[in-house]
Amino acid sequence: ALLLAWTLALSWSPAFATSLVGTVVGVSDGDTVTVLDEQRVRHVIRLAGIDAPEKGMPFGQRAKQHLSDLVFGRHVEIDGDKVDRYRRRVGIVRVNGQDANLAQVHAGLAWHYREYEREQTPHDRQTYREAEAQARQAERGLWADTQPQAPWDWRRQRRQERR
């Protein structure tokens, strides 16, 4: 009986939760999308492991457009069930097996968000780091700017200006 109870408890654990699948019906910016699942429930998804320029920043619209070109109207799978303070699900967005989060970094339209890298697998951590380094070296996207401002610094500056 104890083994059965333990097995049932594990089967309901978030670690065993299935991935969210659905269609991207909105792209808010370069790291946030809205997915409509098979039950027609909307989920706001924050792309894990990256931070893209905000809409008001240089390259913000390009980051949004690139992500939209990758995922809008497409069937996607979301890996990850963390929920952030804004009630967004945080995860890797995959379309046809391609990691859209990584594609944003590779295109030079997002930073590898190192503040949260401990939440990534060691493989993803290394792959995202390498993609950012390659984009920087090739001066792709925002790396063409001589001193691109990180979105977390931009947001902090905006908060201080409002005080």
Q: Which of 88, 115, 119, 139 is catalytic?
A: 88
Q: Which of 42, 46, 132, 136 is catalytic?
A: 46
Q: Which of 38, 54, 94, 156 is catalytic?
A: 54
| Nearest-angstrom CA–CA distance, 152 and 109 | 14
Closest CA to 145 of 69, 43, 59, 48: 59
85 is catalytic: no
**81 and 17 Cβ atoms separated by less than 8 Å:** yes
35 DSSP β-pair partners: 24, 43
88 is catalytic: yes
| Nearest-angstrom CA–CA distance, 61 and 109 | 10
DSSP state of 145: S
46 is catalytic: yes
Residues with catalytic function: 46, 54, 88
